[in-house]
Amino acid sequence: MARATWRERIDAAREQRVASARVRVRRTVTQRDGARCVVDGRSLLNFCGNDYLGLSQHFAVVGALQDAASREGAGGVASHLVCGHHAIHDALERELADWLGAPRALLFGSGYLANLAVIQALLGDEDVCVQDRLNHASLIDAARLAGCRLRRYPHADAEGAIRQLRGMPEGMAMIATDGVFSMDGDVAPLRELALVARVQKALLYVDDAHGIGVAGPDGRGTVAAAKLGTNDVPLQLATLGKALGGYGAAVVGDADLIGHLAETARSYIYTTALPPAQAAATLAAVKLARNEHWRRNKLEELTGRFRERSQRLGLDLLDSQTPIQPVMCGDDDRALAMAQSLEQAGYWVAAIRPPTVPEGRARLRVTLSALHGAGDVDGLVDAIAYARDRANIGRTGLPERGLALVR
């Protein structure tokens, strides 16, 4: 049998993506101004980013970035364990640990790297990692690369998690879950999972990328919202590039576990530290997120407004009370058609298709920000309803306004 060439492999993969309407297109943003951005020469109202608190362009955050860059330069210079660990990194780690009520924090270049670090530094061939079926890809990849047994339970099913743990051989066990699920917007049953972890002597690890800054008292995330602490959740991921508006991530938790990661995690040891200027910007953002409660209050109001108006117009929503509000479309073509219609109306909303979500579960992933206003939300919902109707007429020749979309 002839060996396949790389050209044949990628051409075949491309043809398959085209046939199934799953081609990904990178868009170029040339300007951002609050919730608006210029894309391909058009000004669009952005409803697909993760700048939940509207901090990415805040004058204090940008000012801290500029001031630190003028003093410390543009780069991280080296890994943290060589000569890249700066006093600003240290200050940010202490601020994050204090905010989230944990003994210690450790900075990483991204949430993806942080998840690789946690699972690979703690689990090996004889161990098991039990995960929610809708976890972020980085958690799944981390378990596969660690070489441990990967077991997945039905979404948000704590009893499913305990079934996966029972009967497993000796070795360390970890339960890993998103705090807020990035595509569905719902929250993991953390209290139930903490009980399972305690009974099964497993470590509970929560990737709270979309919860930090948004959920819980003072924006401390889903772990705090569930009234859990480090004894229940020894390690928790906080990303710095979503509600905090910057870039990077931190793992917070038990001091001994964090120390172990700092000395053994490959994705921490063998990579350049975050630029000190970026750390300074995030430090400013954390202080704003901790103290400016009106941002979370506004998000809550906008979320309620979006859901109430959407339900009145018959849009098919998932049960999410977070700023992530999926509108179900069913098949890929319908999702793409609706996203295109929204863009024509001046709204940028991403059409999410498999493999990011399960087959038959394509959707518009609407994300809300404190930068949006009530009128922005009202206009978006009306535009989605219109896009839904256009897509239905295109498929059936008959309008179906007010009917739920097929899941």
Domain ranges of the chain: 28-53+293-396, 59-291
Query: Is 111 marked as binding a ligand?
Result: yes
Please tell me the predicted confidence (pLDDT) of residue 393.
63
Whether the domain at 28-53+293-396 and the domain at 59-291 fall into the same CATH topology: no
Query: Is 80 marked as binding a ligand?
Result: no
Query: Is 247 marked as binding a ligand?
Result: no
Q: For the chain, what's the residue count?
A: 407
Please tell me the predicted confidence (pLDDT) of residue 383.
98
DSSP letter for 187, please.
B
Query: Is 112 marked as binding a ligand?
Result: yes
Please tell me the predicted confidence (pLDDT) of residue 406.
26
Decide: helix, strand or coil at residue 8: helix
**pLDDT average per 10 residues of sequence, the chain (407 residues):** 89 91 88 95 96 98 98 96 97 98 98 98 96 97 96 97 87 97 97 97 98 98 98 98 98 98 97 97 98 97 98 96 96 93 96 92 96 98 96 54 31
Alpha helices by DSSP H, 24-136: 59-72, 87-100, 111-122
Please tell me the predicted confidence (pLDDT) of residue 50.
97
Please tell me the predicted confidence (pLDDT) of residue 23.
86
Please tell me the predicted confidence (pLDDT) of residue 277.
98
- pTM confidence score: 0.93
Query: Is 282 marked as binding a ligand?
Result: no
Please tell me the predicted confidence (pLDDT) of residue 395.
52
Please tell me the predicted confidence (pLDDT) of residue 379.
98
CB 146 within 8 A of CB 320: no
Please tell me the predicted confidence (pLDDT) of residue 186.
98
Q: Going along 321-371, which residue ranges are E strands?
A: 324-330, 347-348, 350-352, 362-367
Q: What is the CATH number of domain 59-291?
A: 3.40.640.10
- In sequence order, what are the residues at sequence separation of 6 or more whose Cβ sits closer than 8 angstroms to the Cβ of residue 342? 348, 349, 364, 380, 383, 384, 387
| Element (DSSP H or E) covering residue 161 | helix 158-165
Decide: helix, strand or coil at residue 359: coil
Query: Is 239 marked as binding a ligand?
Result: yes
Please tell me the predicted confidence (pLDDT) of residue 394.
52
Tokens of 221: 């995330």
Closest by CA position to 214, among listed 203, 225, 206: 225
Pick the CATH number of 28-53+293-396 from 1.20.1050.90, 3.90.1150.10, 3.40.50.2300, 3.90.226.10: 3.90.1150.10
Burial class (CB in 10 A: 0-12, 13-18, 19+), 12: exposed
Residue 359: C-alpha distances to residues 139, 194, 353, 362, 377 (Å): 20, 30, 8, 7, 29
Please tell me the predicted confidence (pLDDT) of residue 397.
43
Q: What angle do the packed helices 111-122 and 137-146 form, to 10 degrees? A: 30
Please tell me the predicted confidence (pLDDT) of residue 265.
97
